Amino acid sequence: MWAKRMMWIAWPAFLVAGLLEVLVFALVDPQDLQWFGHSLSLSRQGVYTLAFFAFWALTMVSSGLTTLLAMSPFEVNRCPVPGDQRPSDCSRQGEKGC
């Protein structure tokens, strides 16, 4: 299930990062960028690559938060230990397992 959720997060984020890359660098020349008053010592491809991975990471965080907030209360609160293997002092002793 976690692999499926990771694909729900990573694939849309990849597509949006590609779109952001096209939109941003249609308006900005990487050779004109400066970092704290100094020009970047990276090639255009280097700037494109770093920007793509930064966009991808940010959109993955956004998609991940959306996926986290979309979890049902059952998924968040369920006990990962099957009922017959829980300790006797477990507050969920009467509940069924996963």
pLDDT in tens, 44-93: 899 999 999 999 999 999 999 998 888 888 777 777 777 677 776 666 55
Whether the pLDDT of residue 8 is over 80: the answer is yes
Work out the average pLDDT over 30-51: 87
Whether the pLDDT of residue 23 is over 90: the answer is yes
Work out the average pLDDT over 26-48: 87
Question: What is the rounded end-to-end Cα distance, in angstroms, of the chain?
Answer: 13
In this prediction, residue 78 carries a pLDDT of 72
Cα(13)–Cα(20) distance, rounded to whole angstroms? Answer: 10
Which helix (H) or strand (E) covers residue 34, if one does? strand 34-35
- Sequence-distant (≥ 6) Cβ neighbours of residue 16 within 8 angstroms: 55, 59
